[in-house]
Amino acid sequence: MARVKLSYTVEEEDILKEAAKILNLCGEDMQQAISLFKGVQDELTGAEDDGGTPNTPKAREMIKEFRVALLQVDTRLEEVNAIVEGCEDYQKGPRGLGLPPAPLGDVDDAPGADL
């Protein structure tokens, strides 16, 4: 499945709130990862309902699912990190973006000063 990048606008004061909402979208993946974390260990040590016999094929399948869930969480975290970083840069102004400061000139040199 292909991934695409989305963009939309929000008010400046809502940027971090939106980032939090985006992070919340991976809540199910995080819960699945936690469940699989425990489940893999149970399968490797032999679940009590299986008489204590390890089930390595099931453990390997669960490890695959675990890795996918972790990737989903990691991807979302990286996206939110980029939003937070961009917000910080925006709040710092042009200098935070590595741009030189705007030149200071005489008021007489400002556009429209001769009007």
Structural domain contains residue 106: no
What integer is the mean pLDDT of 13-19? 95
Q: Looking at the domain assignment, is residue 104 inside a domain?
A: no
Q: Judge whether 79 lies within some domain.
A: yes
The span from the CA of 108 to the CA of 115, in Å, is 10
Indicate the number of domains in the chain.
1
pLDDT number for residue 95: 59
Helix axes 56-92, 15-24, angle to 10 degrees: 180
Report how far apart, in Å, the C-alpha atoms of 89 and of each of 62, 75, 82 are. Answer: 40, 21, 10
Among the residue ranges 34-38, 51-55, 84-88, 110-114, the one predicted with the least confidence is: 110-114
User: Does residue 108 form part of some domain?
Assistant: no
pLDDT mean over 10-22? 95
State the residue range of the domain holding 65. 15-95
**What is the per-residue pLDDT across 47-100, written as a single tens digit (0 to 9) for each?**
766 678 999 999 999 999 999 999 999 999 999 999 999 999 988 887 555 555
Domain assignment of residue 59, yes or no: yes
